[in-house]
C-alpha cells in the first residue's frame, strides 16, 4: 500500500505539472509549479546512507562502494565526489493547440458569420484539457463571446468524451478597452467606425456585460449564436459555432438588425484563464483586436507561438556501478520488471530504488525527487532542476532514469551501460554531459500522442493504465510511432562536476 500511495502521489504531481502545461492563471507563466504535495509518502524510500545535497533526493537506498579500484600505475585511487545537475530547460507552452476560425462554412474567403452561417473547426484534446475561444459580437465597440476562465470540458467526470450543445457555457464579455456606444448606431462601433481601433479608450477590465453599468440592451447569447461539440473518434472533436440571430435581434434607435459574429481564435488548454482574466485588464495579446474589430490575427499569432506540449521530467533513480554493467535495462531486451516501467509510465522511482538496494557488489544508488528549492517532492517543470551527489572510483559508471512526462512510457537515460566517470588516465568526468543522454521507449505501454493520448501520464485515470507496449526497451528514435517528441537537449541540460 505504501508503494501505491507513492505512485499515486507521483502521478498526481505529474498530472498537475502537465495539465497546467499549458497555462497558469493569467496565461503568462503556465506550468511552472513543482507539483507534488507534502506528506511522508512523498519523501522517497526509507534509508540512512543516501547523499542529500542542497535540494537533493529525500530518502536513501544507497549501498557501499566496495573496494577502491586501481588507478594509473596500479596504485589505489581515492574516490572522488561528483555532483550531477539535471535541469529542465524546455519552453513553457500555454496551450496544447490553437487555431483561427475565419471562413464560414460554404464561403470561399474569410469573413463574419451572418445569420444562418457557421464556423467549424476540429480539435484534439485529452481528458484533462478544455476548449476556449473568442469571437466578436459585431456592431458593438468591444464586446465578445467566450467561455469562462475554466473553459469548456470535453470529457465527463468518468473520462468519457462529450457531444452536444455547450451554448450555456458561453458568455458575452466587455473587453473594457473602448467606451460602449449604442450597438450599430454609435460612431465608433465596428459598424460605423472610420478605421479599425478607433473610439474613446475605456482603460477598464474584462467583465461580463451584466456586471458593467452599460445602459444598452443586448440579446441573450442563445439569441445570437449556438456552440456545438461533436466527438468524432478517439481524441478528435468537431466544434461548430453558428450565428442563429434574426434580422430583428439588435433593437436600436435606428431600427432592428441582425447580429453577425466575427472570425476568432480557439485554444485547447489545461489551466485557467487562457485568454483573459475576468476583473483584470486585457493582456494586450489580441483580445482587444477581436473585441473591437473582429480581427483574430494578433491573438492567433500569439496562441500559435505558445502552443505545444510543456514537458516536465519526473523523479528518478541514479546508480553508480562497474563499467560494463547494465543495472537499469538492456537495449533491445524486455524491461526487467524491477521498476524502469514505473518510472517510464508513471514517474514513480520507488520500485527501482528498492530493487537496486538489494543488489550486491560495488554499486551505490538513490532516488532524486526533490527539485532544488522546493518544499515537496515532485517533477521538474521548466526552469527547475534536480541535483544529487555521490562518490565513485575509476572503473565505475553512472546510470539514471527519469520520465519524459506527458508520454506513455518514454524516459531519459544514458546508454544501458551508463556513462564512464573516469577516462583511461583516471581523470574524472566534468562538464556538460547532455549529449550522453538518450530518449528511450520502455516498450511496456503502447505510445499515444504526447499530452493528448488517453493513457499518457497527463490523462490516464490511474497509474499503470494503457495498452500493452512493444515488448522491449529501445531508443525512441527506432520505434517510429509517428508522434512528435522533443530532442533531449530541448528538455534537459545535464551537467556533472568532480570535486
Same domain, 333 and 353: yes
| CA dist., res. 170 & res. 209, Å (int) | 12
Same domain, 483 and 334: yes
Task: Look at residues 269, 290, 305 and tell me which one is the last residue of a structural domain.
Answer: 305
The pLDDT of residue 241 is 98
Q: Do residues 180 and 214 lie in contact, with contact meaning Cβ atoms separated by under 8 Å?
A: yes
C-alpha distances (whole Å) from 318 to each of 40, 107, 379, 474, 495 are: 21, 59, 15, 19, 14
Please state the domain count of the chain: 2
The domain in which residue 210 lies consists of 97-305
* CA atoms in the 13 A half-sphere facing the CB of 129: 34
Same domain, 102 and 47: no
Same domain, 376 and 246: no
Task: Name 431's bridge partners.
Answer: 496
Same domain, 84 and 105: no
Task: Look at residues 254, 283, 305 and tell me which one is the last residue of a structural domain.
Answer: 305
Same domain, 414 and 468: yes
The DSSP bridge pattern shows strands 396-404 and 410-413 to be antiparallel
What lies within 8 Å, CB to CB, of 310 at 6+ separation is 17, 18, 21, 22, 30, 31, 90, 91, 92, 93, 381, 382, 406
pLDDT of the chain, 499 residues: tens digit per residue? 334 334 434 445 554 555 444 443 333 333 322 333 333 333 333 232 233 333 333 333 333 333 333 333 343 458 999 999 999 999 999 999 999 999 999 999 999 999 999 999 999 999 999 999 999 999 999 999 999 999 999 999 999 999 999 999 999 999 999 999 999 999 999 988 888 888 889 999 999 999 999 999 999 999 999 999 999 999 999 999 999 999 999 999 999 999 999 999 999 999 999 999 999 999 999 999 999 999 999 999 999 999 999 999 999 999 999 999 999 999 999 999 999 999 999 999 999 999 999 987 778 999 999 999 999 999 999 999 999 999 999 999 999 999 999 999 999 999 999 999 999 999 999 999 999 999 999 999 999 999 999 999 989 988 888 889 999 999 999 998 999 999 999 999 999 999 9
What lies within 8 Å, CB to CB, of 376 at 6+ separation is 34, 36, 37, 38, 39, 42, 370
Closest by CA position to 319, among listed 357, 288, 289, 351: 357
Same domain, 67 and 103: no
Same domain, 280 and 147: yes
| CA dist., res. 262 & res. 3, Å (int) | 53
| CA dist., res. 73 & res. 425, Å (int) | 9
Same domain, 140 and 283: yes
Same domain, 244 and 110: yes
What lies within 8 Å, CB to CB, of 137 at 6+ separation is 143, 144, 145, 172, 183, 218, 224, 259, 261
Task: Name 66's bridge partners.
Answer: none
**Can you read off the three cell numbers belonging to residue 298?**
494578433
Q: Which residue is it, cell 521507449?
A: 441
Total Cβ atoms within 10 A of residue 334: 15
User: Domain of 52: which CATH number?
Assistant: 2.60.40.2130
Same domain, 174 and 205: yes
Same domain, 74 and 108: no
The pLDDT of residue 26 is 39
The pLDDT of residue 68 is 37
**Can you read off the three cell numbers belonging to residue 306?**
505558445
The DSSP bridge pattern shows strands 396-404 and 313-322 to be antiparallel
Eight-class DSSP state of 405: T
Task: Look at residues 284, 305, 326 and tell me which one is the last residue of a structural domain.
Answer: 305
The pLDDT of residue 458 is 85
Amino acid at each position: 500500500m505504501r508503494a501505491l500511495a507513492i505512485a499515486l502521489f507521483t502521478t498526481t504531481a505529474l498530472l498537475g505539472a502537465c495539465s497546467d502545461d499549458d497555462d497558469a492563471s493569467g496565461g503568462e507563466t503556465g506550468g511552472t509549479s513543482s507539483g507534488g504535495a507534502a506528506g511522508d509518502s512523498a519523501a522517497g524510500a526509507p534509508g540512512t546512507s543516501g547523499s542529500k545535497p542542497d535540494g537533493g533526493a529525500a530518502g536513501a537506498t544507497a549501498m557501499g562502494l566496495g573496494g577502491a579500484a586501481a588507478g594509473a600505475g596500479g596504485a589505489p585511487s581515492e574516490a572522488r565526489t561528483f555532483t550531477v545537475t539535471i535541469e529542465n530547460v524546455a519552453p513553457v507552452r500555454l496551450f496544447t493547440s490553437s487555431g483561427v476560425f475565419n471562413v464560414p462554412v460554404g464561403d470561399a474567403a474569410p469573413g463574419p458569420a451572418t445569420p444562418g452561417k457557421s464556423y467549424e473547426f476540429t480539435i484534439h484534446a485529452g481528458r484533462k484539457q478544455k476548449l476556449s475561444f473568442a469571437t466578436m459580437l459585431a456592431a458593438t465597440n468591444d464586446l465578445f463571446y467566450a467561455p469562462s476562465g475554466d473553459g469548456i470540458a470535453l470529457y465527463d467526470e468518468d473520462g468519457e468524451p462529450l457531444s452536444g450543445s455547450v451554448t450555456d457555457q458561453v458568455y458575452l464579455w466587455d473587453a473594457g478597452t473602448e467606451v460602449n456606444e449604442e450597438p450599430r448606431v454609435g460612431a465608433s462601433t465596428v459598424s460605423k467606425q472610420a478605421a479599425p481601433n478607433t473610439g474613446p479608450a475605456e482603460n477598464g477590465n474584462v467583465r461580463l456585460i451584466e456586471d458593467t453599468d452599460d445602459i444598452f440592451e443586448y440579446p441573450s447569447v442563445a439569441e445570437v449564436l449556438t456552440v456545438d461539440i461533436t466527438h468524432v473518434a478517439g481524441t478528435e472533436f468537431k466544434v461548430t459555432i453558428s450565428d442563429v440571430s434574426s434580422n430583428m435581434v439588435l433593437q436600436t434607435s435606428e431600427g432592428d438588425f441582425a447580429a453577425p459574429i466575427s472570425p476568432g481564435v480557439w485554444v485547447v488548454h489545461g489551466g485557467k484563464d487562457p485568454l483573459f482574466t475576468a476583473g483584470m485588464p486585457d493582456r494586450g495579446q489580441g483580445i482587444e483586436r477581436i473585441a473591437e474589430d473582429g480581427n483574430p490575427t494578433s491573438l492567433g499569432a500569439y496562441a500559435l507561438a505558445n502552443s505545444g506540449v510543456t514537458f516536465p521530467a519526473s523523479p528518478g533513480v541514479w546508480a553508480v556501478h562497474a563499467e560494463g554493467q547494465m543495472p537499469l535495462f538492456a537495449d533491445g531486451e524486455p524491461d526487467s520488471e524491477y521498476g524502469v516501467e514505473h518510472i517510464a509510465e508513471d514517474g514513480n522511482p520507488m520500485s527501482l530504488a528498492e530493487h537496486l538496494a538489494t543488489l550486491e557488489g560495488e554499486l551505490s544508488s538513490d532516488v532524486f525527487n526533490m527539485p532544488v528549492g522546493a518544499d515537496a517532492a515532485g517533477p521538474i517543470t521548466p526552469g527547475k532542476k534536480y541535483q544529487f551527489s555521490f562518490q565513485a572510483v575509476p572503473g565505475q559508471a553512472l546510470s539514471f532514469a527519469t520520465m519524459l512526462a506527458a508520454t506513455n512510457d518514454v524516459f531519459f537515460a544514458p546508454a544501458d551501460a551508463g556513462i564512464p566517470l573516469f577516462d583511461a588516465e583516471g581523470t574524472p568526468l566534468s562538464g556538460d554531459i547532455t549529449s550522453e543522454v538518450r530518449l528511450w521507449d520502455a516498450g511496456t505501454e503502447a505510445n499515444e500522442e504526447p499530452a493528448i493520448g488517453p493513457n499518457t501520464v497527463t490523462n490516464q485515470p490511474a497509474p499503470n493504465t494503457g495498452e500493452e507496449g512493444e515488448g522491449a526497451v529501445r531508443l525512441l528514435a527506432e520505434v517510429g510511432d509517428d508522434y512528435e517528441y522533443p530532442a533531449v537537449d530541448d528538455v534537459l541540460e545535464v551537467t556533472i562536476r568532480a570535486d
